[in-house]
Amino acid sequence: MRSRCGLAMRPGHAIVDDVKRTLGTHWRTEMTNFNQKTVAISFFVFFACIAPAITFGAIYSKFTNYWIGPVEMIVATAWCGILYALIGGQPMMINGGTGPVLAFTAVLFNLSETLDVPFLTLNAWTGIWVGLYMAIAAVFGLNKYILLCTRFTDEIFSTLISVHLPLP
């Protein structure tokens, strides 16, 4: 079966195509070309990641009753950045906490308090399930459906991200 783009629709084809397209491209040039520009970019990315990690970590500690704080945010940001740089095909992606993730974590913490379940366990299982859904989306190449998102959908998401909602 073929998709609209003419690509064969088989499970895992999108992952294989991405690996074929990116394998050996940035690795050869970026990892073997150590110069002043590489050092400058590395420092820029470090400081661009560490400041929000500390800031969001302090806010996380307030909303999660100190279960997640600045140290955990720095470690999580570092590991996400390292893993994404190694397998994501883009070595200069800035990963870290954002407002919507903070809001979701605060709601998840309140839910764990309401259900009387351990917060870190609920948070871990939520992450595992989201990771499983993302793996399924990658295997079946569901990113091609982003083209079906209209400008209205984009505006709705932008509004939800920018609206300041008071967190409990």
| Per-residue tokens: 97 | 């906490």
Query: For residue 57, what pLDDT is reported?
Result: 93
Query: Alpha helices, DSSP H only, in the chain?
Result: 13-22, 26-32, 36-63, 70-87, 99-115, 119-139, 151-162
Query: Digits of tens for pLDDT over the chain (168 positions)?
Result: 455 554 446 888 877 877 777 666 666 666 677 788 878 888 888 888 898 899 999 999 999 999 999 999 999 998 888 887 777 666 556 677 888 888 899 999 999 999 999 999 999 999 999 999 988 988 888 877 877 777 777 787 777 767 655 555
Q: Using CA atoms, how far apart are residues 143 and 137, in angstroms rounded to an integer? A: 7
Query: For residue 145, what pLDDT is reported?
Result: 81
Looking at residue 88, the DSSP 8-state letter turns out to be S
β-pair partners for 8? 2
Q: Using CA atoms, how far apart are residues 114 and 13, in angstroms rounded to an integer? A: 43
Query: For residue 94, what pLDDT is reported?
Result: 60
Q: Is 23 exposed, middle or buried (0-12, 13-18, 19+ CB in 10 A)?
A: exposed
Q: Of 140, 122, 56, 61, which is closest to residue 95 (Cα–Cα)?
A: 56
3-class secondary-structure state, position 149: coil
Query: For residue 17, what pLDDT is reported?
Result: 79
The dihedral sign for the CA sequence 62, 68, 72, 76: negative
Give Dmax over CA atoms of the chain in angstroms: 54
State the pTM of this model. Answer: 0.71
Contact 109, 65 (CB under 8 A): yes
Query: For residue 111, what pLDDT is reported?
Result: 94
Looking at residue 66, the DSSP 8-state letter turns out to be T
